[in-house]
Structure 1
């Protein structure tokens, strides 16, 4: 247990969110004794998001577990630092070398209630307000949905069009929480990505954002990754 208490869990928010989306999970991990840091990625390009993660890792000491939600799976894939001992993907995208986020996101047909996404004049993609309740987190409370709308941060087209290089999941142990009721990233795509990574898969009947709607399950898979990789 002392090794676990010396570990840091870095959590990374996805598109249309910020670090507050991890709040229920952060509290649970802190109760377990983990040091937890939410990496503040700018969502301006994959390389700039990766650099933000690198800076966050540099601020920590000891072993690190990196967990990412949705788009942030691509950012998790850049965590090649030797102190990173495990990767956790939560309903997340995991491009292979040479692939983009868009390549894997659009691999399957969209859910009927998935948002119609298009960039604005500045090249940023916003989530339509109604889609937070219909697709982003259909199992969330009204209060959670209202807060998610209020704090949403758009993602740049550059973030989803930049190819990844040397994904970390090829050399590090990975865990994947598969969201069976996801309306944003098709569950079939999630399974394909998780199996391609040879990740340990935990599948649950949850929506796209279990950080909010099923935090015990997200905390559980991070705890499992830490206990397996660090003990």
Structure 2
């Protein structure tokens, strides 16, 4: 073999070897990536501070997490507050709602940046339905007692707060939540939804099996209706606060699953 041919073959081999790491790096970079943005929406009688454990858990995993502070003055106001936060996101987002927050994300989740929905012991009406209709046909929960004031805003009866909302918290935690609760305009439960994002976007559901705000059969019925991937955990209605690891794991699953779907 001539020197010239040897030189050409050596150069070709070197070029081939050099392209292997590049190709491997490109293949790694092309692998599906999870959605990196998460927006958390609280429910009635609470505010966004109850998400602190979930926030800490998810940010430690590298997620960008934003918490909506619902005014709880109307469905339209809460949806508007959620959309403002969604507008700030830099890409696909997992939208998470607890309790009444499930109604909010059902309406607001049609936002184009929402890739998936996570319902945390949350309501999920259909378009044309009200939140109140979700309770029809299910047993009342005697431990969850509301005190509706003359102006139409409701609190949880302070004397029943821990039993009805957060029996798996300490006395001090329950007392703070009781004394800092945010009332909701009860008329919001009678407002019909215009959209149901779960009809077009994948959904997950975390069900607290010791929830006293909702009948367990009601929670399971709603999760089945929306074809949600379900995780059940022994917890009170305050599951968003008392089980941050379980809730975070579900959000993480949603983020990875929607990221995979987007890549295919």
* 8 A contact 2:203–2:227 mirrored in 1: yes
Indicate whether 1:82 and 2:79 are aligned.
no
Q: CA RMSD in A?
A: 1.5
Indicate whether 1:156 and 2:165 are aligned.
no
Alpha-carbon offset, residue 107 of structure 1: 4.0
Indicate whether 1:108 and 2:142 are aligned.
no
Alpha-carbon offset, residue 21 of structure 1: 0.9
Unmatched tracts of structure 1, length 5 or more:
none
Counterpart position of 2:207: 178
* Shift in CA distance, 125/106, structure 1 to aligned 2, threshold 3 Å: farther
- Distance in 2 between residues matched to 1:229 and 1:143, nearest whole Å: 39
- Distance in 2 between residues matched to 1:128 and 1:82, nearest whole Å: 39
Alpha-carbon offset, residue 224 of structure 1: 0.8
Counterpart position of 1:144: 173
> Which aligned pairs between 1:195-214 and structure 2 lie closer than 5 A?
195-214=224-243
Give the TM-score normalised by structure 2.
Answer: 0.83
Secondary structure at 2:122 match in 1: coil
How many pairs align? 229
- Which structure dedicates a bigger proportion of its chain to helix? 2
Alpha-carbon offset, residue 63 of structure 1: 1.0
Q: Which has the higher contact order (CA 8 A, sep 6+)?
A: 1
* 8 A contact 2:32–2:259 mirrored in 1: no
Q: Looking at CA atoms only, which structure, 1 or 2, has the larger radius of gyration?
A: 2
- Distance in 1 between residues matched to 2:135 and 2:73, nearest whole Å: 17
Secondary structure at 2:128 match in 1: coil
Alpha-carbon offset, residue 150 of structure 1: 2.6
Counterpart position of 1:49: 78
